[in-house]
Amino acid sequence: MSSIKRRSFISTFASSLVGLGLANNLKAEGKIPAPSQSQSTALKIKKYNDLGKTGLKVPDVSCGAISLFEPNVLRYAYECGVTYFDTAESYLRMKGEAYVGQGLKGIRDKVVITTKHGYNFRQKIDKASILERVEASLKRLQSDYIDVCMIHSIDDLSPALNNQEVMSAYDQLKKEGKIRFTGFSTHNAKLTLKQALETDFAQVVLFMYNHMEGQGIEPLIKALREKGIGTVAMKIFAGGMQGHLKSLVGKDVSYPQAAIRWVMSNSDIDTCIPTLSSYSHVEEYVAASGQGLNRADLKLIASYQQQADNLYCRVSCRECLSSCPNNVAVNDVLRYAMYFENFRREKEAIGYYDEMEPERKPLGCADCPAYCEKACPYGLEVRNRLLHSHEILTA
């Protein structure tokens, strides 16, 4: 089906849902009725891949359960063939896992769930607290086991691998059958994907990959694939600025679909996890499943890149970090601002910023000649962006 035809199908399908009052019923009744024959055959995941050598099958388009307000959206995604759900202890300020548990109740054995726990490796971590946190996650997920349990958002894998308490906790959880596979998520793929190749702990890895960053890590992704490590791509919409880039509005091609197809055109990626926080997200993103990248996609992506080039902080680039005399975590601060402004995860973004050590915040930027700007290869107005970020994140 051509992109234009698919777009009109999506609108027709969405209108038919509205016409039937289906979406409203789903919300009101707290359940998802079985899809009709036409729905179940038309709006379906078309392709499933092996998740590394885990033996698990995952759809090419999966679910990032990050900013979820309606658990039935997950059930709807499942009805459309989405069987991989990614959450974390910290999402939705500790409520994300409970939404996933609620949304997937009764179909636990038919889906794959990943959750993640973050650690401050500069502080003492004890095994008992990890076991407790994973038990609490299981309770929220309403499950006896976690398919993939990841260490959340690490820039360097070494402190985790060298921490006996952490490794011993994950070993025990695996032996007890509470965790099936381990791995990590990262915004520093250049280092951590290399490290992943050296350890059996990394069975599945979640990393940023989109058309504006990540191309430099493609040989590493290939090496992960060859070693049998599951590869999951996140932040696939390159900052999620499509709502602000005027020339993308009203096109016949959907930017998110184009971005999904771009990511999944790399055959070394097992799945990607766009955030599915509404019924329309499910419909739009699932429709991109199994589709090859086409010329219209590339045109749209080129337009996005051109407009976002000096606006989008490539979080994994880190080029400016060593130029800052104050050791400001430029990419993390701009990432939290991205969560706030583009992903509409305001409270969570403020929470993350609040937890950041004060010395990593841009508190001295106003009086600095902005060395970071000279170091940024993409011409971002880094200092102004940091000052603005601090303002919104402390509001």
Residues that bind ligand SF4 (CB under 6 A): 313-314, 317-320, 323-324, 326, 328, 330-331, 362, 364-365, 368, 370-372, 375-376, 378, 380, 382-383, 386
* Maximum alpha-carbon separation in the chain: 64
Which of 251/360 has CB closer to ligand SF4?
360
Q: Return d(Cα 256, Cα 278) in angstroms, integer.
A: 14
177 SS3 class: coil
Which of 134/330 has CB closer to ligand SF4?
330
Which of 71/362 has CB closer to ligand SF4?
362
Q: Output the smallest distance, CB 366 to ligand SF4, in A.
A: 8
Taking the chain, what is the end-to-end CA distance rounded to the nearest angstrom?
47
Q: Return d(Cα 75, Cα 81) in angstroms, integer.
A: 10
Q: Which of 170, 161, 144, 342 is nearest to 243 (CA)?
A: 342
List C-alpha distances in Å: 137 to 16, 140, 281, 359. 38, 5, 26, 31
Q: Output the smallest distance, CB 209 to ligand SF4, in A.
A: 16
Which of 287/313 has CB closer to ligand SF4?
313
Q: Return d(Cα 364, Cα 32) in angstroms, integer.
A: 52
Q: Output the smallest distance, CB 151 to ligand SF4, in A.
A: 22
Torsion of CA 235, 239, 244, 246, to 10 degrees: -80
Q: Output the smallest distance, CB 312 to ligand SF4, in A.
A: 7
Cβ atoms of 261 and 294 within 8 Å: the answer is yes
Which of 253/337 has CB closer to ligand SF4?
337
Q: Output the smallest distance, CB 36 to ligand SF4, in A.
A: 47
355-367 in b/e burial notation, b at 16+ Cβ within 10 A? eeeeeebbeebee
Q: Output the smallest distance, CB 386 to ligand SF4, in A.
A: 6
Which of 9/371 has CB closer to ligand SF4?
371
Which of 57/388 has CB closer to ligand SF4?
388
Q: Output the smallest distance, CB 392 to ligand SF4, in A.
A: 17
SS (H, E, C) 26-75: HHHHCCCCCCCHHHHHHCCCCCEEECCCCCCEEECECEECCCCCCCHHHH
